Amino acid sequence: MGSILDILSNIFLMIGIFFVFLGMLGLLRLPDIFNRLHATTKIGTIGAFGVMIAIVLKVGFTPMGIKAITVGLFLLLTAPVAAHMIARAAHRHGVGLCKESIIDEYGKTYK
């Protein structure tokens, strides 16, 4: 039997892998860039952060654990901002929404 930290690490790893899989599935299945960015940013960030937590629980506060914490925090801070900038640039350059979208809040601002 493993220790409680090993079990928690495996649980966080499985949760992280599951969310990374959902982000990949959203990237493949969703219709336009705005929906794809939402799926890959939100779910991918949570998934990657789950994997980083699993690493910290597995190795402790070693140099590798500190790097995992740093990478996780960096992802949490930068991925949403990068996705927002990509979506804003796509909207400004006229990339259209999918036909199922019913509201374009920025349409009147940039056109």
Model pLDDT, residue 58: 94
Distances in Å between the Cα of 53 and the Cα atoms of 16, 22, 47, 84 are 9, 18, 10, 25
Identify whether the C-beta of residue 10 lies closer than 8 Å to the C-beta of residue 54.
yes
If one counts the domains in the chain, the total is: 1
Mean pLDDT taken over the chain: 87
Amino acid at position 76, single letter: L
The pTM (predicted TM-score) of the whole model is: 0.78
DSSP type of residue 97? P
Model pLDDT, residue 13: 95
**Structural domain containing residue 21:** 4-110
* CATH classification at residue 82: 1.10.287
